[in-house]
A and B are shown apart, each in its own frame.
Chain A
Amino acid sequence: MIDKPVNNRAWFFVLPVLGVVLFSSIIPVMTVVNYSVQDTMGANSFFWNGDQWFRDLLNPTTTIGARFNDALFRTLAFSLACLLIEVPLGIALALCAPRKGWAVGISLVVIALPMLIPWNVVGTIWQIFTREDIGLFGAALVGLGLHYNVTQEPISAWMTIVVIDVWHWTPLVILLSYAGLRAIPDAYYQAARIDGASRWAVFFNIELPKLQKVLVIAVLLRFMQTFMIYTEPFVVTGGGPGSATTFLSIDLDKIALGQVDLGNAAAMSLVYYLITLTVCWIFFTIMTQLERRGDV
């Protein structure tokens, strides 16, 4: 293998990126850490609270712990559902998308549209869209005889948020996969034809391996975004009915603003952040290990 050379001068290539990102990222992190080990009794008085917040949070028997636990599992389930739908669907659609001619431009524009709408407007559209009296989606589902009611039925609410997310973000997976597929040189397809490979064999042996990096990004991005989802459920269901769609960030928001409990909120957001970090780190490490094992 022409192995990657060790070249520490490569740091110069990376310095601009570092400079630009570091400027913004250090201070906020410090602030949150600071908040999370203190207690607030009102607007500006802070007491040092050590790690009490964290211990309460991670203990499912305390009220805050139980609530956190619920929201956590709810959010993880939501992420999983979205990923399981969006990734295969996105790849499949990218495979079906036109590659040449006038249809390419139009397809790309239409696919991109859902992502370009500000997220609060997305929530607003669907708020109307899901109502059975003035929205096509609500009317259609009720018309088919289903017990659909976004504000009252937990299953409806859940399903709706998933549908919104799929509608909104599958294009991300499609665009990434499409670009990745187009980057595969024709010679690979030609060689596969000569080798008599079936369509599935081409997909598993050529396309999927070449899409690996792109899919890692797509999965990580979608995981992070679904895990941290806020706007759409907030606008469409307000976290309800009950706590059916109260995902972690909505819960966090309620605690921070509603109960003016900055200490708890900050601890929660730190744990939240750490969980996101850990899941991504595990996924990333697995993918790089798989790749490295293949090289040597």
Chain B
Amino acid sequence: MTSITLDRIAHAYGGKPRSESDYQLKPFQHVWEQGFAYALLGPSGCGKTTLLNIISGLVIPSEGRLLFGDKDVTHLPTEQRNIAQVFQFPVIYDTMTVAENLAFPLKNRRLAKPVIDRRVAEIAKMLDLSADLNRRARGLTADAKQKISLGRGLVRSDVSAVLFDEPLTVIDPALKWELRSKLKSVHRALDLLMIYVTHDQTEALTFADKVVVMNDGRAVQIGAPADLFYRPEHTFVGYFIGSPGMNFMPAAVKGDRADVAGFEVRLGAIYRDLSSDQSVQVGVRPEFVSATSGPGLPAQVRRVVDLGRKRLAHVTLGNHPLVVGIPREMEGVGDVVNISIDPANTHVYVADIRVQGTAP
């Protein structure tokens, strides 16, 4: 059990980057602590798979060092790294039974048969595969196959990290939840470092202790799911997390007020005078803006969306589009509605980075 350290890791295909845009992965400094479950979340092309491949050994980074504990493994081949990997689609040995699949890594390391059998039985039990041990692996469903894939990684007791590369992509949606819970329970039982790459925020937020949000080759924010939700440090995190994502409006901010399209919005903290800065935006999640029958800012209603457990209204404040929540008590929504914004959950962003104000 070790932690993994990324020491100024960066990667450019071809190795000779001339400018920052040549990097697939911009210089990255991070310590993945043992026992934690991390999610690498981001849109396609953000570099999360490259990062995972560097950790697994499929890719050798063009710059920087990778450390497992204190050991420099940057150039160490995959098979010597004590990692396990689960891929986007189930990778199993078609000709073998489930038990033989699970035993394979141990057989290759020449462990004694009783040791192998015991370990296989243990892992199979943990993954609910005991009933299928003697079946041909090929005949099972995709989610069972992914469990076998995972099992092959877990069966080695020297495994220090398990890497997941969008493992639920081809799983039947009805079974995704089950498999995700299973992954979480395995994590709790074995206390392994797990790194989970995905573009699906639900997966990331439910699975991980800490989420690394990536965009365009760099980590934009690293934090617990709650932090990403309540306090996005970057507008990208605001957009990407939450369904729908955060509302952003250009504003002139001064003190504890923001001028948005001529309307005054109360802020939860005091900021210095940012009224002359063109790149200032105010961000607030739809969860914290709602239509109200009381006083509020007038907004034109464009569209109402009923999602069952909540209703959303797409409105415009001045000429800025916003998505706001409609409280349960409110039955109908006309063409114009008052919206109230929760100052405590309103944030200010300068050039896409959040600015911390002082407490009032």
| Interface residue ranges, A against B (CB under 8 Å) | 1-2, 185, 187-188, 190-191, 193-198, 201, 205-206, 209-210, 294-296
Contact = CB atoms under 8 A, between A and B. Distances in A.
Interface stretch (B13-21, B75-83, B328-336, B338-346): B75-83
Nearest to A198: B108
Q: Which 8 pairs, one residue from A and one from B, show the smallest C-beta to C-beta distance? A: A196-B108, A1-B139, A195-B105, A187-B87, A191-B91, A193-B78, A295-B139, A205-B93
B220 interface: no
B348 to A, nearest CB: 44
B79 A193 contact: yes
Interface in B76-102: 77-79, 83-85, 87-89, 91, 93-96
B109 interface: yes
B153 interface: yes
Contact of A209 (B87, B95, B139): B95
Interface residues of B, number: 29
Nearest to B83: A194
A206 B109 CA distance: 18
Given A205-B93, A206-B93, A295-B138, A197 B104 contact: yes
B137 to A, nearest CB: 9
Given A196-B79, A205-B104, 7 more contacts: A1-B140, A187-B88, A187-B89, A195-B108, A205-B96, A294-B136, A294-B139
Contacts of A206: 93
A295 B136 contact: yes
Contacts of A198: 108
26 contacts: A1-B139, A1-B140, A185-B89, A187-B87, A187-B89, A190-B78, A191-B85, A191-B87, A191-B149, A193-B78, A193-B79, A194-B83, A195-B104, A195-B108, A196-B108, A201-B108, A205-B95, A206-B93, A209-B93, A209-B94, A209-B95, A210-B94, A294-B95, A294-B136, A294-B139, A295-B138
Candidate in B91, B109, B138 with the most chain A CB atoms within 10 angstroms: B91
State the majority secondary structure of interface residues on B: mixed
Contacts of B89: 185, 187
Given A196-B109, A209-B95, A190 B104 contact: no
Nearest to B140: A1
Candidate in A187, A201, A206 with the most chain B CB atoms within 10 angstroms: A187
Given A195-B105, A198-B108, A205-B95, A190 B58 contact: yes
A206 B92 CA distance: 9
A258 B136 CA distance: 57
A185 B88 CA distance: 11
B96 to A, nearest CB: 7
Interface in B298-345: none
B141 A187 contact: no
Contacts of A185: 89
B78 A194 contact: yes
Contacts of A191: 85, 87, 91, 149, 152
B77 A193 contact: yes
Contacts of A197: 104, 108
A190 B152 CA distance: 13
Contacts of A1: 138-141
A117 B88 CA distance: 44
Candidate in A1, A194, A197, A198 with the most chain B CB atoms within 10 angstroms: A194
A197 B136 CA distance: 20
Contact of A195 (B77, B94, B136, B152): B152
Candidate in A188, A195, A206 with the most chain B CB atoms within 10 angstroms: A195
A190 B85 contact: yes
Nearest to B135: A296
A83 to B, nearest CB: 23
Contacts of A2: 141-142
Contact of B139 (A195, A205, A296): A296
Contacts of A295: 136, 138-139
B146 interface: no
Interface string B44-75: 00000000000010100000000000000000
A201 B85 CA distance: 19
B295 to A, nearest CB: 57
B175 to A, nearest CB: 12
A295 B89 CA distance: 18
Contacts of A294: 94-95, 136, 138-139
A187 B91 contact: yes
B64 to A, nearest CB: 22
A189 to B, nearest CB: 10
Interface string B92-128: 0111100000001100110000000000000000000
